[in-house]
Amino acid sequence: MTEVRVPTLGESVTEATVATWFKKPGDAVAQDEMLCELETDKVTVEVPSPAAGTLADIVAAEGETVGVDALLANISEGSGAAAPAPAAAPAAAPASDAGVAVDVMVPTLGESVSEATVSTWFKQVGDTVQQDEMLCELETDKVSVEVPAPASGTLTEILAAEGTTVAAGGKLAVMSGASASASASAAAPAAAAATAPAAASTSKDVEDSPAAKKAMAEAGISRDAVKGTGRDGRAMKDDVARAFAAAASTPAPAPATAAPRAPVSADNASREERVKMTRLRQTIAKRLKDSQNTAAMLTTYNEVDMTEVMAVRKEYKDAFEKKHGARMGFMSFFTKACCHALKEVPEVNAEIDGTDIVYKNYVHMGIAAGTPTGLVVPVIRDADAMSFAEIEKAIAEKGARARDGKLTMAEMQGGTFTISNGGVYGSLMSSPILNPPQSGILGMHKIQERPMAINGQVVIRPMMYLALSYDHRIVDGKGAVTFLVRVKEALEDPRRLLLDL
C-alpha cells in the first residue's frame, strides 16, 4: 500500500483545501498521473500519484482542509498497475515504430505563480526540432521561462498561441516523435478532432473550487462573470478576486473618457502608441500600490559623508580585484553597514504575519536592480555571514542575470530587507517604497560634493542622502532613526564594522 500525502506547499503556507479529486476509489492510476488538486491562499497544487496501481481509498474528501504531509489517500499496487496503459494506447497505436505524440507542457513556474503568458514561439507547426531546443518563451509576473522540446521530432500543433494565458501544468503544443514525421500530418487533425469534443464535454460540468464558490457568494458575483483559469476552466479563488476588481472598476465608463479624444484622434494617431503592459510591469504596479495600501509607510532621512569609504576604495580597489577577481564597489559597504545595523534594530528585519511579528535571525538582502523589462529584486542569501568579496561577487552575478532575464523565481524570494540605489541614475533624494512583506528598505542616492561645517571650518565633502522607508506598524520612529544613524556611523568610519561597534 502506498500513501498519498500533501506535498510541500511553499514558503509560509501550512495548509490547503482539497479542491477536486480526478480519480475515485477503484480507479486504476499510472505513476505521476494527477490524482487531485489542492488550493492554498496563494497557488493551486496538483498531487501526482507516487506509484502505479489502484486508488484504494480517499482519506481527505473535497472541501476538507489538510496540513502539509497529511494523508490524502492510499494506493494499492499490483493488478491495477498496468491498467492505465490501454487508456494511453489509442494515441500510440497507429504504428509501434512510427513514433508517438509528445505533449509540450507548461513547466513549473515557481512558488506562488500559477499562470504565465505565451510571449514568443520560436518554432512553427511543421518545423523539425531537436530535444532540448527552445520552442517558446513564457512570461510570468516575475521572470521569463523558456520551454525546451521534451523530445526530438516535429511540431505538429500549437495549442496556446502568442498572447495566450496558460496555467502551470497546461498543454502548450503537441509534437510527433522523431520517427513519426511521415505520419505527423495525419496525426495532427486526429488530435485536434479528439481534443475538441473533450473540451466541450469537460466544460459542461466543471466543479468550481470550494474557496471560489464561497468567494462568489460573499461578493455577490455571478459565475458567468468569472473566467476560470483552473483545470478545464474551473473557477479558482484568484479568478473571483479578479472578477470582483474588474466589476468594481467598470462604473468609471471608459467610453466617456475616450469620447472627448475623438475629434483629435486623427491628428494624434500617428503620434501615440498603445502597448499592453507586460505581466512584470502589471505586477510591479500592483505590488507597489498594495504596499502603500497595506503598510503604514513612513520615511526618515539622513546624510552620510562618503570620504572614508571612498578613500578605502581608492587605496585598496586594485589589490582587492587582483586577489578576489571582483571589483570593489560601494554596495558591499552599504550591505555590511545594513547587516550591522539590523542586528541592533531587529524589527527593521522582521515582518508582520497576521497578528504575529516574525523576527529573522538572518539577513537575506534584496538588491533592487533596474532591467529593460522593469524592476526586479534578486536576493543575496545570508549576506550577514558574507565577506566583502563574497557580497561583491554575488551582486555582480545577480545583476548580470537580472539584465539578461535569467533570474529564477527562487532567486527573488525570501528577502528580509532591501537596498535600492537610485544614485546610479542621478537621483539626489527620494522615498523608496517598501517591498512587502518586508518592513524596511534603504534608499541610496547620488554622491555630491557639498560645503560642510567640520570642526568649525567649511570644507567640501562627498555627501550622500540616505532614506529609510519603514512600516510604522512594527518599527517605531526611534528604531528607524537609530538604524539609519548606525548605517551612517559605519560608513563614515568603516573600522566600526571590523570592531562590531
Which residues are identified as catalytic? 472, 476
Q: Which residues are bridge partners to 453 per DSSP?
A: 458
CB 144 within 8 A of CB 119: yes
Determine whether 161 is exposed, middle or buried from the number of CB atoms within 10 Å of its CB (0-12, 13-18, 19+). exposed
Q: Which residues are bridge partners to 444 per DSSP?
A: 421
State the DSSP H helix or E strand holding residue 46, giving kind and residue range, or none if neither.
Answer: strand 44-48
Nearby residues of 71 by Cβ (< 8 Å), 6 or more positions away: 3, 4, 5, 59, 60
Element counts in the chain: helices (H) and strands (E): 12, 27
Q: How far apart are CA 120 and CA 113, in angstroms?
A: 19
Cβ neighbours, 10 Å, residue 85: 12
CB 89 within 8 A of CB 47: no
Long-range contact pairs involving 252-257 (C-beta distance under 8 Å, separation at least 24): none
Q: How far apart are CA 76 and CA 479, in angstroms?
A: 59
Determine whether 181 is exposed, middle or buried from the number of CB atoms within 10 Å of its CB (0-12, 13-18, 19+). middle
Q: Which residues are bridge partners to 56 per DSSP?
A: none
Q: How far apart are CA 130 and CA 135, in angstroms?
A: 10
- Kind of pairing between the strands at 171-177 and 417-421: unpaired
Calculate the alpha carbon distances from 335 to 35, 236, 292, 308, 340 in Å: 46, 41, 25, 16, 9
Cβ neighbours, 10 Å, residue 77: 13
Cβ neighbours, 10 Å, residue 260: 8
Nearby residues of 107 by Cβ (< 8 Å), 6 or more positions away: 145, 147, 168
Three-state DSSP class for residue 390: helix
Q: How far apart are CA 233 and CA 207, in angstroms?
A: 9
Q: How far apart are CA 172 and CA 104, in angstroms?
A: 5
Three-state DSSP class for residue 158: strand
Largest distance between two CA atoms of the chain:
93
Cell numbers found for residue 17: 483545501
DSSP at 433 = P
CB 131 within 8 A of CB 149: yes
